[in-house]
Chain A
Amino acid sequence: MILILTHVHRCQGRYIYMCFIFKEVTLSSSIPTNFELPVDRHVLSNGLRILLHKDSSSPVVCVAVYYHVGMRSEPKGRTGFAHLFEHLMFQGSQQLGKMELVSQVQSVGGTLNGSTRFDFTNYWEVVPSHALELVLWMEADRMRGPNITETELVNQRDVVKNEIKVNVLNRPYGTFPWLDVQEHAFDNWHNNHNGYGDMVDLDAADLKDVEEFFYRYYSPRNAVLCIAGDFETEEALGYAEKYFADIPAQELPVPVDISESQQFQERNIHKIDNMASRPALAVAYRTPERGTKEFYALGLLNSILTVGDDSLLRQRLVRQKGYTSSVSGSMNFLGHMHNAETPLVHTTSLIHDQDVSPDQILDDMDEVIASLKLDDFDEDLLVRAKTKVRSGLYGLLSGSGYPRFGVADLLSSFELLEGNAENASDIPRRFDEVSADDLVRTASNYLVPENRTIIRLEAGVSP
């Protein structure tokens, strides 16, 4: 028997600032199982692409601006500059003082952040929907240009150096696996340099670099503005037009060449981590090209091999052999497979015991991969992988701590990287079309020694 203890709470009236009301809702018995991300796409005369995704289930809205410039785009001799520049974009613009954008967003009850990825740099705010116009005004002001002096540059350089220390230099496994793998798996400087930045390069950055980088990359034509959440379409478009349309158009920057020549030989890297007490191993395979069937097949292989307690590498390396406590799989160190351009690597990594050799672990991994053969393929593996991928996709849309940001990220990434945000709704179909044959073929073409880089990390500290 079920006894109802409490039921409805109601607020006693409108508060001056904001009202929080509990109301009863009728739950539908038919739960949708489709995956659709409706989006209205518009382009302003200066080339700024605008994406609108409505969701009025609560009065919050996410404004996200994606600039098509990331770690891969930064110039030689200025490693870490894309990331440093992201920090500088919070330091003030023509009508906003240092940190004023942050204080304005917080003061309306919102939150914000920014991040630098391989191919783009993004800035987003999640605010109560009545602050939409204010936020668009602020982002437009920022797009017109930062207002940076030597003082802000020096300050943020120190902050970034501290970020590198806390995340990389002052901890064990600080560069493992992502910086290590990127450095060795790729030959093209744009893909293999340290995107966090060398201290020397950070010190060398000056205000002229700031000006040139902004001028080259932070223009409307090189950006996507996504508004996701609670808004009226006409009103939101009107604000976008009002605040962004007269920002001068510029030519698109010449894209950097991120192509890689084909890899023919296995690469073996050995390194010592003087702060680590256990060895670690990473195996990174170059991926197929984004958007291809093989790319989605590799996404499913990642799910089969490394996602969840039933994944094959976890079963073998953790449960059966006890070499390690966990195995990680990744197709993009700075996000997921949907928000980066190829070339990428699929990396499996683990921290393991001293008494097992990396070669033994590699043999086990190879055996697991070799077991994916067409003649005795377990179809249930593929079915489960597709279910896990679908569940994971829904998960991307919920619960990041930034309501509506998950959907804004997917839409903006597809607009930037594939030229059409509507492609995001096509993700399930792309996975569904992968057959067992595609899966096995992709494994046998890509998950092979001559396509991989192996990082063997030796512990510099005795346990």
Chain B
Amino acid sequence: MSGALLPRPELGDIRPFEANPREINKLDNGMEVSSFALGRAPLVFLRLNIRNHRVFNRESIWLERFSAQYLNEGGAGSYDPDSLAREFSSIGGQLHISADEAATTFSTTVPSESLSTALNLLGLAVKEPTFPEQEAERIRDNLLRELELSLDQPQVAAAQGFRNLVYGDDHHFGNLLPQREYLQEFGRGDALNYWSEQQSADRAHIYVSGQFDREVLVNEVESNFSNWKVGGVALGDLGPAVWNHKTRLFNRDQAEQSTIYMGLPVIAPGESDWIALEVLNALLGGSFHSRITLNIREDKGYTYSPRSALLTQPNDGVWLQMADVTTDVTAAAIKEILFEISRIRTDPPELDELQDIKQYMVGSFIRQMSEPVSRMGHFVFSDLHGISDDEDDHYIEQVMNLQPEDIRRTAETYLDPSRFSVSIAGDIDRIKDSLSSVEGLSPFETAT
């Protein structure tokens, strides 16, 4: 069944992408304001980031989450929790507050005409949280549930093992999960102390995108945030990730698949080889048409969603490959992953292959800059890693200038399998013998 076949057409003329820059303003108290108009839907997207003070303490793992949930469900100013939720809802939004080791984030999205009210409510939530005593136990129970549900997930087990290997046991990033006994002790006083140490206007940056009235934005930001205090504890430094050539197994009896996390510390975003590393990642495992995906999915059928990624933290970066593979081919899949890494470290890619992946990176960048939320995410990332917006002007040029040898050299420099940490959640009895045959894997240790 077919009509006539027509030849493949040539590409049309490239249309330049024109985007307005973000405008960055600063209030007297140090809070920064980034804004740019983008998108056709009459929505305004607000995201307020506050950088966290970071000193590792085993007893306070997840305290930032506890505090964020408390902020989210505790009410603010004269609003009790229910009435604050209704106020947000009445303008078509919801308040989301989340926190990780790097930042506490307040965000909401509302129809454009409600910008003024949204900023007013956001200001209250940040400046005047009430932390009602009666909410503490419920929020603590929420986190205990979250912990239990996390422990059931093979991906969480593998990720925990991997992060623990590369960051160590005495590091924020090496501890995805808290110990139950410490979590059970969290109370209102802990959240209050945490928040008084964290919140400070000079560590805050609000990002605004979508469609909005600029005059309203300027006036309402000034009106709602200029009286926010400066304070908090100074930002601390974190230790870097380290090479730790170990293989850690987490047992899941009768598991149908093994969940594999493997990789090592590389460099931080903004460093000179970072863009080459991004392109290498896309070529190796970070895109649908990448080598590892073509190999273990499209050729061998070992897995559904293999992917590699660059995991970043302030001043730090880690490359990792993840895959959930059928149990019986766990060792075979790891061998293929290592084979692809070895190949790119030895042989530069063909020009055509590299050209395609460079175009993919350029297109991804333009798509990211074409939508309000993803472009906002780009700016948050740049600010977290101290990357100037000027770099955006040169990004495409830098990508397109990369040569095959740059990619090979980057792989050789940064992706040394003899330094890999490997974490696997699966049925140990069924996989351990075959894993012993994988050259380059360190002796196993079993996670408890």
A8 within 8 A of B: yes
B373 lies within 8 A of A278 (CB)? no
Once bound together, how far apart are the Cα atoms of A178 and B11, in whole Å? Answer: 43
A94 within 8 A of B: yes
B127 within 8 A of A: no
Residue of A nearest to B360 (CB): A106
A181 → B minimal CB distance (Å): 20
A308 within 8 A of B: yes
B78 within 8 A of A: no
Residues of A within 8 A of B (CB): 1-12, 14-25, 27, 29, 31-33, 55, 57-60, 94-95, 98-99, 102-103, 106-112, 126-134, 137, 141, 144-145, 154-163, 165-166, 169-172, 215, 230, 242-243, 245-248, 250, 275-278, 308-310, 315, 319, 322, 324-325, 351, 353, 380, 383-384, 387-388, 390-391, 394-395, 397-399, 401-403, 461, 463
Once bound together, how far apart are the Cα atoms of A315 and B86, in whole Å? Answer: 11
Partner of A127, one of B93, B212, B363: B363
Q: Which residues of B contact A155 (CB under 8 A)?
A: 298-301
Once bound together, how far apart are the Cα atoms of A276 and B163, in whole Å? Answer: 24
Once bound together, how far apart are the Cα atoms of A20 and B211, in whole Å? Answer: 21
Once bound together, how far apart are the Cα atoms of A108 and B289, in whole Å? Answer: 13
Given A109-B359, A309-B95: A401 and B42 within 8 A (CB)? Answer: no
A414 → B minimal CB distance (Å): 17
Which residues of B146-173 are within 8 A (CB) of A? 146, 148-149, 151-154
Once bound together, how far apart are the Cα atoms of A463 and B150, in whole Å? Answer: 12
A7 lies within 8 A of B112 (CB)? no
Which residues of B13-49 are within 8 A (CB) of A? 13-21, 23-28, 32-33, 37-43
Q: Which residues of A contact B146 (CB under 8 A)?
A: 325
Given A29-B213, A398-B41: A9 and B294 within 8 A (CB)? Answer: no
Task: Determine, out of B51-59, B392-400, B433-441, the stretch whose residues face the partner at the interface.
Answer: B392-400
Once bound together, how far apart are the Cα atoms of A79 and B400, in whole Å? Answer: 46
List 29 interface pairs A-B (beta carbons < 8 Å), by A numbering.
Answer: A4-B24, A5-B25, A15-B397, A17-B14, A21-B16, A22-B18, A22-B19, A23-B18, A29-B213, A29-B214, A33-B113, A60-B370, A106-B356, A106-B363, A110-B360, A132-B12, A144-B5, A162-B324, A166-B305, A278-B145, A308-B89, A310-B89, A319-B81, A353-B145, A391-B43, A391-B93, A395-B109, A398-B43, A463-B148
Partner of A18, one of B28, B95, B289, B396: B396
Once bound together, how far apart are the Cα atoms of A112 and B367, in whole Å? Answer: 12
A308 lies within 8 A of B21 (CB)? no
Q: Please provide the 7 A-B residue pairs with the shortest distance between their CB atoms, ordered closest to farther.
A: A109-B363, A158-B301, A391-B92, A246-B3, A107-B356, A309-B85, A59-B15
A151 → B minimal CB distance (Å): 10
B258 → A minimal CB distance (Å): 9
Once bound together, how far apart are the Cα atoms of A461 and B91, in whole Å? Answer: 43
Q: Which residues of B contact A32 (CB under 8 A)?
A: 42, 211
Q: Which residues of A contact B138 (CB under 8 A)?
A: 319, 322
